[in-house]
Structure 1
Amino acid sequence: MQIDMAFFLERFYPGDYVDSTYDIDYEVLYSQGFRGIIFDIDNTLVEHGMPATGRAVELFERLRRTGFDTCVISNNKEPRVAPFANEVGTKYIYDAKKPSTKNYIKAMQLMGTDRSDTIFVGDQLFTDVWGANRAGIRTYLVKPIDRHEEIQIILKRYLEKIVLWFYARSKKDRRS
């Protein structure tokens, strides 16, 4: 029995793949009816373990002015997540156990949104994107901010490269 590798890997494909969280045109997304954004923190908004930067604070202020509600979800513990969330002024969920869908759904409940008007932004395929895809949320994969990561994440990045190769090929095939 032959397995269609691309079909198997599609569950990990992001809706969109962009260079940075800060490159997404959130105003266009708002005009398309999106109202809630769930973010990962580490290597999505800031370098791993770092406090909120001025750039991150400004992004959340801009999103509030636009009309978005936001929530950060992280597999980290509360001492990491709560201070960051407070600095940027957003709701949060810690120890999210991504890729479980439970806390993506909880984040939507906290924001008063649903699958149809919520976006997820994260830097990892096998936790962030896969969980959001399983929850039925539109996903944005962003390139990691910092190349220096924990060993278990470095190992996953090698597998992500394979998935992203198939993803790029599928996008190219659709354009042909």
Structure 2
Amino acid sequence: MLKTFFPDEYIASTYIIPFEALYSEGYRGIIFDIDNTLVPHGAPADERAKKLFKRLKDMGFDCCLLSNNQEPRVKMFNKEIGVHYIFNAHKPSVKNYEKAMELMGTDKSSTLFVGDQLFTDVWGAKRAGIRNILVRPIHPKEEIQIVLKRYLEKIVLHFYKKEQKK
């Protein structure tokens, strides 16, 4: 039952994902969560995020931001990034993962998802049939509803790590 929520991969940071290797494996589209995946909650795109998206575009990736936040937040983050975005996404609903692939012109086999939450980001990507990478949250400051989910995530990640050792 807990395996339903296991990520395909668990990496310390978005910024150390081997995107070049993923491109050589045939991935062409990346869907990203924003808050605590790319920047601290509510922060604008910083230099590190801007450089990452430039690098990804130069490599040939198409990207889409998929956020449960409202449009002003997502639009503000995307201002200097300039990629597709979907706000108020209702993750883990599959609908907007599919819409993101449509915007990027990719499919399940050529799309990857990167996010910091198991019960919204990863579970939604898994339900949509997309390879997913869970990253550690960038910053501990989070909204109360997320803080509560983190306790449950710790339990799932404990069993995930145990399974990975086998």
Scaled by the length of structure 2, what TM-score is found? Answer: 0.99
> What is aligned with 1:4?
none
Q: 1:31 aligns with which of 21, 24, 37?
A: 24
SS of the residue 1:17 aligns to: strand
Distance 1:125 1:86 in 2: 27
- Residues 1:100 and 2:93 are matched in the alignment: yes
Distance 2:52 2:83 in 1: 11
AA of the residue aligned to 1:113:
T
Structure showing greater radius of gyration is: 1
What is the count of residue pairs matched by the alignment? 166
Root mean square deviation of aligned Cα: 0.6
Distance 2:32 2:83 in 1: 10
> What is aligned with 2:5?
12
| Identity among equivalent pairs (%) | 65
Scaled by the length of structure 1, what TM-score is found? Answer: 0.93
Q: 1:82 aligns with which of 75, 78, 95?
A: 75
AA of the residue aligned to 1:121:
V
Q: 1:40 aligns with which of 23, 33, 45?
A: 33
> What is aligned with 1:143?
136
Q: 1:66 aligns with which of 59, 65, 68?
A: 59
Unmatched runs of 5 consecutive residues or more in structure 2: none
Report deviation, 1:85. Answer: 1.6
Runs of 4+ in structure 1 deviating by more than 3 angstroms, as ranges, are none
Report deviation, 1:82. Answer: 1.2
String of CA shifts for 1:38-84, please: whole Å, max 9, x gaps: 00000000000000001000000000000000000100000000121
- Residues 1:166 and 2:137 are matched in the alignment: no
AA of the residue aligned to 2:13:
S
Report deviation, 1:148. Answer: 1.0
> What is aligned with 1:154?
147
Unmatched runs of 5 consecutive residues or more in structure 1: 1-7
